[in-house]
Copies of this chain bind each other. A is one copy, B any other.
Amino acid sequence: MKLTSKGRYAVMALADMAQFNNVSPVSLRDISLRQGISLVFLEQIFSKLKKNEIVKSIRGTQGGYVLNGSPSQIKLTKILNAVNEEVKTLQCKKEIKKGCNGKLTKCITHNLWYELEVHINDFFEKKSLQDLIKKNTEQRI
């Protein structure tokens, strides 16, 4: 499965944006400074976020990014899928040649990984950006 820094940074950055949810756009430079993430790396990540219509961009001075929708509508699955391609545990396509093609034992674990995938996606589907920042402020009190 795939759950890398790119995904974590994407969530962090968007949560940051949601937290500082001004009307005006947020520049990657600000996020970079606040969250300690490389600016150029953020650019890469936000390029994908934009393609997936999670954020909108505004160019030029005073430009930046704004969330495309309210924090409560943006589910984490969408974010993670955007930057990581997908959350995939199944790898049986490759292995169908060897062992997975039901000769004696079919890929016994096939279903397991599928279930896990569903389980994880469920988890992220239930979480929105709003949940994250709510939790964070609650804890700070």
**Interface positions of A (Cβ within 8 A of B):** 1, 3, 5, 8, 11-12, 15-16, 19, 34-37, 76, 89, 91, 95, 97-100, 104-109, 111-113, 115-116, 119-120, 123-124, 127, 132-133, 135-136, 139-140
A11 to nearest B CB, angstroms? 5
Number of copies of this kind of chain in the complex: 2
Task: Tell me which residues across on chain B come within 8 A of A3, comparing CB atoms.
Answer: 1, 89
Task: Determine the distance from Cα of A36 to Cα of B5 in the docked complex, in whole angstroms.
Answer: 33
Contact A132 B120 (CB under 8 A): no
Task: Determine the distance from Cα of A120 to Cα of B121 in the docked complex, in whole angstroms.
Answer: 11
Most central of A11, A36, A89 by chain B CB within 10 Å: A36
Contact B120 A11 (CB under 8 A): no
Task: Determine the distance from Cα of A5 to Cα of B90 in the docked complex, in whole angstroms.
Answer: 11
| 9 cross-chain pairs, A with B, having the tightest CB-CB distances, nearest first | A36-B98, A36-B99, A15-B108, A35-B99, A1-B3, A119-B123, A108-B136, A11-B109, A12-B109
